[in-house]
Amino acid sequence: MADDSYLQQLGARIRDTRARLNMSRKALAAASGVSERYLAQLEGGRGNISILLLRQVAQALSLALPDLLREEREHRVELTLLTHYLERLSPKRLLQARSILVSAFGELDPQQRHNRIALIGLRGAGKSTLGRELAERLKIPFVELDKEIEREAGVPLAEIFSLYGQAAFRRMEKRCLENVIELHARAVIATGGSLVSEPDTYETLRAACFTVWLKASSEDHMERVIAQGDLRPMNGREEAMADLRHILIERDALYRLADAAVETSGRSIEESVRQLQNVYNIS
């Protein structure tokens, strides 16, 4: 939308909302702390006002700032009421509401979900190696979610846990995933191995991406982690292997929710990437 048209639309929205509330411009000025002169310019489509003052105007009109600033045409009353209702739901009930809507009406844009490929699986499954290669072949961005979390936190992943704790990490993980989805209409995303254990975040991933479970044997997982330079499993290897097998069993049902699965054990990188391309193109 052109700048002039947008300012005209914004001004009209403020003017119409004020009229519906039977509020004079003087009353809006008093409630918002924004001068009548500014409001007159704003309603006339000549506004040049800071975001903080716009927030004050929105609050005075009992509008959420995004509703005031959006570029779309006016929402129908039913949609506005539904939006306000959903905003009051807890995250868990919001997920339930979404599941009900998808079950009743289906995904609104399945192709958009298919344009993002998310790789899930334990560390050592090949998510980074295969994801980077797949993205290069498809000529789309490759994103490592753990790297995005580190960038936001400003510290390495291990320090996030020690400094902020598990709950803070999970919040960062979900926020970074939402940012990646918003920024990239097409991408290959390598996720952290434990993301599937967080229901809200996993549901967000599955709703926005074509998910592929990269499977490998517990022995291959262990060998690949060691090959990456992490020698911790070498101390008490049998116990570490038992823990790894237990995690694979515990997460099996979650990983199986993915749209597709690719076995990487006993396959070269080339073979695994080709298989990835096959399941992506077929689905």
Domain ranges (residues) in the chain: 3-79, 110-282
Question: Which CATH architecture group holds 110-282?
Answer: 3-Layer(aba) Sandwich (3.40)
Condensed to tens digits (0 to 9), the pLDDT of residues 135-157 reads 999 999 999 999 999 998 888 88
Condensed to tens digits (0 to 9), the pLDDT of residues 8-55 reads 888 888 888 887 778 888 988 998 898 888 888 888 888 777 777 788
Residue pair 125/214 in contact (Cβ under 8 Å)? The answer is yes
pTM above 0.95, yes or no: no
One CATH from 3.30.565.10, 3.40.50.11810, 1.10.260.40, 1.10.10.60 for 3-79? 1.10.260.40
Which residues have C-beta within 8 Å of that of residue 247, sequence separation ≥ 6?
122
Condensed to tens digits (0 to 9), the pLDDT of residues 72-93 reads 555 555 666 777 788 788 867 8
Q: What is the pLDDT of residue 167?
A: 84
Q: What is the pLDDT of residue 17?
A: 82
Q: How far apart are CA 13 and CA 34, in angstroms?
A: 17
DSSP string, 34-83: --HHHHHHHHTT-----HHHHHHHHHHTT--HHHHH--SPPPPHHHHHHH
Q: Does 70 score more than 60 pLDDT?
A: yes
Q: What is the pLDDT of residue 132?
A: 95
- Phi first, then psi, for residue 133 (nearest 5°) are -65, -40
